[in-house]
Amino acid sequence: MNSLNTLAKWLPSVCRQSQSSSAALRLARPFSSTSSSLSERGDRSRTIQSQILNRTPEPSKDKSPLSAITRMMQGDSSSSASRVSSDYARLAESLEADMMKHPYADRSPPHHLHVYCHKHNTILTLTRPNGNPMMSMGCGQIGFRKGGRSDFDPAYQLSAHVMSLIQERGYLMEIKRLEIVYRGFGKGREAFTKVLLGNEGRNIRGLVNRVTDSTRIKFGGTRSRKVRRLG
C-alpha cells in the first residue's frame, strides 16, 4: 500500500488510468455473459425435455404381433416397450395353442422302431409314420435256430445288423424323427438298449425323440395258462 501511494503521488496520471482500466475490467467480468448463456441452455433443455415427455406415440399402421417383433429386432424406437411385450405375449399364446391343436404342424411326424422282446425271440420292425412297415427282422433271419434265439447275444447281433441295414439302405435320409417302442421284458430289451447307446447306434440315437413302452398288461380277464416248470 505504501508503494502504491508513493507511486500515485509521483505518477498520478498513470495510476488514474490503471484504476479506470481495472474498474472497467471488474465491470466487464464474464460472469454476466456466462450466466446468461447458462440460463439460455437451461431453458432450451427444459423445452426439449417437455417436448419429449409430452410427445404422443405415432399410430402404428400394422398392428400384427409379428410386425411389432420385427420392428423391435430392427431397432425401431417408435414402438413402445409395453406394446411390443404385449404383442409378443399374444403371439406366444397363439403359437402354443396351434402347437397343442396340431402337434406336428411345424415338424414331420416320427417313424417307429418296434422292439418286440419275447422270452423266446427278439423281433425289430421299422415302420413309417402311417404304420406301413419298412423292414422287419428276427433272430432266426441271421442264423440262430430254436432255443438259441432267446439269448442275449442273438438279440445284440440282430440289433447291430438292423442298425447297419438302416444306414446302408438310406433310410436315414427319410427319417427325421424316430420313436422307439418297446414291448416285452425279454433279454433282447437290454441288448437293443446297449447297441443303441453304443458305437453301432451313433448315427441313429440322435434321431430318437421319444421312447415308449407298449407292453400288454392284463387286468382281470380269463385264467392264465399253468406256469411251465422244468424238472
Per the CB < 8 A criterion, the answer to whether 206 and 172 are in contact is: no
pLDDT tens digit string along 184-197? 999 999 999 999 99
Pairing of strands 111-117, 122-127: antiparallel
Whether 96 and 125 share a structural domain? no
Q: 125-160 burial, b for 16+ CB within 10 Å, e for fewer?
A: bbbeeeeeebeebbbeeeebeeeebbbeebbbbbbb
Q: What angle do CA 148, 151, 157 make, to 5 degrees?
A: 90
The reply to whether 27 falls in a domain is no
Check residues 89 and 38 and name the one with the higher pLDDT.
89
Whether 141 and 184 share a structural domain? yes
- The residue segments making up the domain with residue 178 are 111-213
Whether 82 and 131 share a structural domain? no
Per-residue pLDDT, 47: 78
Whether 90 and 137 share a structural domain? no
The reply to whether 9 falls in a domain is no
Residue 8 has pLDDT above 70, yes or no: no
Per-residue pLDDT, 24: 45
The reply to whether 221 falls in a domain is no
The reply to whether 48 falls in a domain is no
The reply to whether 218 falls in a domain is no
Whether 91 and 153 share a structural domain? no
pLDDT tens digit string along 154-201? 999 999 999 999 999 999 999 999 999 999 999 999 999 999 999 999
* pLDDT level of residue 92 (50, 70, 90 thresholds): confident
Q: Domain tally for the chain? A: 2
Beta bridge partners of 111: 178
